[in-house]
Structure 1
Amino acid sequence: MTAEGREHSDPHPADQTTQTDAKVAAVPAGQAALWRTLTDSGDLAEEGQSWAELMHAQFDEAGDIHAAAVFAFVYDAPSRQLKPIGGSPINRVAAAAAVDACMSAVDQLRPVARGEMPGQSRASGMIVAAAPLIVKDIPVGVVVVEMQPDSQAAMRRAMRKLQWGSAWLRDRLRAEESTREETRYAAAVEALNTVIAVAERGDFSTATSAAVTDLATRFDCDRVALGLRRWRRTKVKAISHSAQFSKRMELVARLSATMDEATDQRAAVLWPDDGVEDTFATQAASVLAREHGAGHVFTVPLYAIDRFIGALTFERPADKPFDLKQLEILEAVGTVLAPILDEKRRNDRWLITKALESLAVQLKRLLGPAHLIRKLFMAGVIGLVVFFWFAQSTFEVSAEARVIGTVERSIVPGFDGFIADAPVRAGDVVAKGDLLVRLDDRDLELERLRLVTQRQRQQIEYDRAVATRDRAEINIRQTMIDQANAEIALIDEQIERTRLEAPFDGLIVSGDLSQTIGSSVTRGQPLLTLAPVDAYRVTLQVDERTIADVAPGQTGALRVTALPNETFPIRIEKITPVATYAEGATTFEVEAVFLGEAAALRPGMQGAARIEIDERRLVAIWTKPLVDWFKITLWRWSPI
């Protein structure tokens, strides 16, 4: 059975918890050294190499497996990378197929075999078999063998040997993981203790002094110093067991240079660097150690949010070097401590300092690289400010407006009487001479009839006196006749005045007597109000905050509620000095006249008017209410 590229898993996987402590009864002399290295070395790379060579030897002893190479890898899950820790033959590099099989094994969490499966005779193709090393359900490594087995049974035995042999490596990696967890736990404890020491102090200076003294005591250091970055230089802020120190001290300068050295390299720097994989510049640290008697110097940069804010420098005597676990703990302490110290430093500043630093940060982001959206936003804001500063428009004052007639005539009776007829009411258009109101004249007609009868009787007496030539009687009767004629003329005048007619063409603005026919009226009582239909004016209620900008002769426009699509030009004629308080605002009445035809308007219509004042900047127009309010408030509270 052959299948090119097919994945194969052992149907009978060995128990991965099987221990490999049992040794072969007779160990060849060449393998004894490998077994000692495997069990006693303590170095994972050496142990991995010994394991690969021993497994390769066991495959060779089988006779029918024909292993070409054996490899062991440590798997880094976050980066998905394989790091070799052993291979046999020593100088051989794992084939691409072997690496692919390893990745499939860690992805599937089970053994994987790839290649041309052997048939009845030995296959010419290469087969790779990989088994993952799983600790707590997480792949931590993988082992792989490149082989040409004689049969499928030989291939299955090879897979079982690989799984059984990988148990030792799995346990070794489990121990490594436990050690790392212990280190992380210790680092968390130490970091928490340092954070507590910082949090218990109020101000930044006291907190930093407490932090470095606590670190020096806790990690058995001769001296621990803390520095903060400012203007690309690190300034020493605290030294353990020293409440005060001079910034001009030679020690402070050396500490500052050592901190700059680590911060510029953006990495923790150890001097001397024996056994450290990565090599960094340590000139400043060596000078500090030589001049001030330190045997070992370790500097940890402090990183908070998005930048390096300073560094911690630890010094120990020559007989107390830092081990790897302590270095990891100190780096973890610096990582935890950095944002806390930065926050306390920020909170301990003066308010003006906070404002200036915030402004500097924003300017740096605005003028520096990246932050494209911020730059576009600020460019837009600046563009708008420039536009509104130079752009000008007409400053206008808005006011509530009401249309009234140029002349309004009240229709009043000339004497007391009763309403007999009222053919018109408010809203009717009338012509000159049209009847508006007619008073009841029946009493006046009866009075006139009485006076006419009395005049006729006096006329008869007058004629008789003329016939008798009684001169005295003639004069008396003539006087009585003249009196009657005068009274009749008065009655006729009153009868004529019972008809109240329109004095001119106009519109009835107010009054409705149709529901009061027969009711009494008194002399001088307003019955109707009449206004011309072709002569109007406008009264504006201008707010007191803008009345100072209004002057006679200014022009504007009016729109009434009844005709929202039409605009009527107006001109200011008069500003009354009388203020009116209504609806929470004080207004002044301003009178205006129409500059054109206003045939569609009617007295009583209301709307809004806009008076054109002058040309001003847009920003001045929009901020005028705020500026005026600020001026008044400032003057009100100003002591001068």
Structure 2
Amino acid sequence: MEDGLGIPGSAQHQTEARIVREAGPWRRLSRAEALDEAARAWAPLMMAQVDGAEGTAVFLADPDGGRPRAVANWPESRMPSAILLAAAEAALDSDRGVVRGAVGDDGRPSGGLVALATPLTVEGRTQGAVGLEILPEDAAELRAAMRSLQWGAAWMRDLVRREAMQSDRQRYDHAIEALNVVIAVAEREDIATATRAAATDLATRFSCDRVSIGFRGVFSTKVAAISHSAQFGKQMALVRLLGAAMDEAIDQRGPVLWPAEDSADPVAAHRHEKLARAQNSGHVLTVPLYAMGHFIGAVTYERPAETPFTQTDLEILEAVSTVIAPVLDEKRRNDRWLITKAGVALGQQFTRLFGPGHVGRKLALLVLVGLGLFGWFATGPDRISAEAQVSGRVQRTVAAPFDGFIAAAFARAGDPVEAGAVLVQLDDRDLALERLRLVTERQRQLIEYDRALAARDRAETQVRRAEIAQAEAEIALIDKQLERTRLTAPFDGLVISGDLSQSIGASVARGDALLSIAPPGDYRLTLDVDERRIADVRPGQAGALVPTALPEQSFGFEITKITPVAEYADGATTFRVEAAFTGAHPELQPGMEGIAKIDTGETRLVEIWARPLIDWARLWAWKWLRIG
């Protein structure tokens, strides 16, 4: 090796090595600032390190996933071959060294051009690749060339790492600048103060003569704040020029710089030029504010002629505008009048309903409209629901005729009985003994009567006759009481209440209800109608009952009477309504309960559905607003 560069193997290589030494690429490599410049200095150095090298190249990966881009090659007159490009792509994909070209399966060169490539991986990400073209004589020379390429790639890897660190540092600086401006905006409560603070802070921080912030209106942009200016007239020429410049940037949906740099995408800057000439500004930049899916305004920066906007300035100002746009938009929205917010929200909903997209919202509206039309034009039976109980139309109570004891019970609730059938037998032993005593007393009085009659004692005869009549009356009374110890059914019917089978021997007082009997099949229905619907109930209305015991059947009825007395139970106030069944219903039994529905007529469905809400609203309005 000569001077650490190696002994040339050919005249061409000697010439290239001499150029490397004379041009000082090492000096250019160490002083290079940009990655492309460093790559152009590295390529000849790398080629000088390898005997028999035909060319070198540096490739950078495409951020969009395309083919790698060659940023440097040596000799400059020799473009990278297709083999070298394929090797670089393979190295990027596999993240390892790759050999392509005239190489056999055993790794030995076959006498043709061979391309070597190794990736440039930084922090786990493959940023590019370096390649070398060589005509090797044997496998050892090929391995030595790959080793030299990998060693040389360390230079480029460090340069790529430095470039990435500078990019990260730049993004960090951008974030710091944006954060400082956001803090200045967020600390203010209203939009006017926030925009003034943002404009003044931006003007001071970025050395601008003036910074203006405006928001997009219905037809044009309105200037909201100018740096270092608490108040400004809306009819000032400056304000009109600033608004026009902001509209120019918003209409083109991107930043506008005057005077414009050479660019592949030129933009119109006539209004910016007019503003600059009117205000003697050397440089004018307007960056649109984008938030919530649309452009909400713009920021215009003005600098003197001796302080142009650099590319770094442009990137920072675009980043700052991107960050503060949502904050300003949020404050502007919150600072609007309530009626304005309502109007904007209504307009947005109208646009979503009748504009493009939002198919689900449109379908939901169609369904609601269809339901509304159906509810308005469709009618149905209006029914009032109420709890109901079945009871006998005529009920007879079997009561104790006198004080006594129960001797036997022959029927209880649920038993059918025939007229005259004995239901309850009261104990008659005391009555029988009393009757025997009275009979004996009557016989004694008869004997005394006969004796007085024989003695012709007329006074005694009258007394004894009266005693005999009294005894006979008492005997007749006892006989009647004995007959009433057998309580019988007054008619054919059903025992609906009372069970004395467990009370044999118990005492009863005169008038105590022992059993209740109702005639079979002759029932009435009692409904408990809520007070909110009692006004809609009329005698003669029809309905149907579904008993709890027979949920698969319904029984028709007709309203006969409305009791004008309210009852409160279970947290609700109800009125009792009586109804008669239409037809015979042997399945029904007294005491059954269920749900009854009263038909009040055909009504529009929307009235039926909305009635509870309307009634509640009327009561609320009467209670709190005295409207009724």
TM-score, with normalisation over the residues of structure 1? 0.85
Secondary structure at the residue paired with 1:581?
strand
Is the 1:226–1:311 contact (alpha carbons within 8 Å) kept by the matching residues of 2? Answer: yes
Residue 115 of structure 2 corresponds to 128
Q: Distance in 2 between matches of 1:257 and 1:140?
A: 44
Counterpart mapping for 1:204-223 below 5 A: 204-223=191-210
Deviation of 1:300 after TM superposition, in Å, equals: 1.4
SS of structure 2 residue aligned to 1:248 = coil
Q: Does residue 27 in structure 1 map to residue 50 in structure 2?
A: no
Name the CA distance, whole Å, in 1 between partners of 2:571 and 2:114: 95
Residue aligned with 2:110, SS: coil
Structure 1 residues 49 and 606: alpha-carbon distance in aligned structure 2, compared to 1, 3 A threshold: same
CA distance in 2, matches of 1:543, 1:120: 99
Q: 1:85 to 1:265 in 2, by over 3 A?
A: farther
Match of 1:540 among 527, 537, 546: 527
1:515/1:39 Cα in 2 relative to 1: closer, same or farther (>3 Å)?
closer
| Larger displacement relative to structure 2 (220-229 or 183-192) | 183-192
1:419 equivalent to 2:392? Answer no
1:347 to 334, 340, 345: 334
CA displacement at 1:382 relative to structure 2: 3.9
CA distance in 2, matches of 1:467, 1:333: 148
Matched, 1:104 2:90: yes
**Quick check: 1:56–1:88 contact (8 Å CA) kept in 2?**
no
> What residue is the counterpart of 2:277 in the other structure?
290
> Which stretch has the larger CA shift, 478-487 or 71-80?
478-487
Range with bigger deviation, 381-390 or 580-589: 381-390
Aligned equivalents of 1:290, 1:331: Cα separation in 2: 24
Aligned match of 2:71:
85
Question: Which of residues 567, 588, 591 is equivalent to 2:554?
Answer: 567
- Deviation by residue 1:111-167 (Cα, 9 ceiling, x = unmatched): 222234168997376543222223344332222345554443443344345445444
Aligned equivalents of 1:74 and 1:226: distance in 2? Answer: 40
In the TM superposition, residue 363 of structure 1 has moved relative to its aligned partner by 3.1
Cα deviation, residue 624, structure 1: 2.4
Partner residue, 1:72? 58
SS of the aligned residue for 2:245 comes to: helix
Q: Does 1:397 align with 2:384?
A: yes
The 2-side partners of 1:630 and 1:270 are apart by 62
1:37–1:47 contact (8 Å) kept in structure 2: yes
2:567 aligned with 1:580, yes or no? yes
Report the CA distance shift for 1:597/1:100 in structure 2 as closer, same or farther (over 3 A).
farther
Query: Contact between 1:123 and 1:148, CA under 8 Å: does it hold in 2?
Result: no
Per the alignment, do residues 237 and 100 of structure 1 end up closer, same or farther by CA in structure 2, a change over 3 Å counting?
Answer: farther
Normalising by structure 2, we get a TM-score of: 0.86
**Distance in 1 (alpha carbons) for counterparts of 2:348 and 2:427:** 93
Q: Does the CA contact (< 8 Å) of 1:212 and 1:226 recur in 2?
A: yes
Shift of 1:244: 1.6
Match of 2:225 in 1: 238
Residue 16 of structure 1 corresponds to: none
In 1, distance between residues paired with 2:375 and 2:80?
70
Tell me whether 196-205 or 166-175 shows the greater mean CA deviation: 166-175
Amino acid at match of 1:595: T
Q: Deviations along 1:483-535, whole A, 9 cap, x unmatched?
A: 65554443333222222110111221222222333333333221111112211
SS in 2 for 1:565: coil
**Structure 2 CA distance for aligned equivalents of residues 365 and 199 of structure 1:** 31
Residues in 1 aligned to 2:85 and 2:195: alpha-carbon distance in whole angstroms: 50
Structure 2 CA distance for aligned equivalents of residues 99 and 594 of structure 1 = 99
Alpha-carbon displacement from aligned partner over 1:347-394 (angstroms, at most 9, x marks no partner): 222333333323333333333333344444444444444444444332
Q: Residue 497 of structure 2 contacts residue 516 of structure 2 at CA under 8 Å; is this kept in 1?
A: yes
Amino acid at match of 1:604: G
**Contact 1:38 / 1:47 at 8 angstroms: preserved in 2?**
yes
Matches of 2:219 and 2:78, distance apart in 1:
48
Task: Say whether the 8 Å CA contact 2:53–2:132 is kept in structure 1.
Answer: no
Q: Does 1:306 align with 2:297?
A: no
Partner residue, 1:203:
190
- The SS at the match of 2:532 is coil
For residues 309-388 of structure 1, the aligned pairs below 5 Å read 309-388=296-375
1:123-272 equivalences in 2 (<5 Å): 123=110, 127-146=114-133, 148-231=135-218, 233-272=220-259
- Secondary structure of the 1:552 match is coil
Aligned partner of 1:625 in structure 2 is 612
Q: Equivalents in 1 of 2:205, 2:53: separation in Å?
A: 57
Question: Matched residue of 2:357: which SS?
Answer: coil
Name the amino acid aligned to 1:535.
D
In structure 2, relative to structure 1, the CA distance for the partners of 1:437 and 1:131 (3 Å cut) is: same
Does the aligned pair in 1 maintain the 2:196–2:226 contact within 8 Å?
yes
What's the CA shift for 1:417?
2.9
What is the aligned partner in structure 1 of residue 537 from structure 2?
Answer: 550
Structure 1 portions without partners, runs of 5+ = 1-22
Alignment check: 8 A CA contact 1:578 1:588 kept: yes
Q: Which moved more, 1:316-325 or 1:439-448?
A: 439-448
Contact 1:65 1:155 in 2 (8 A): no
Structure-1 residue corresponding to 2:509: 522
How far apart are residue 203 of structure 1 and its match?
0.8
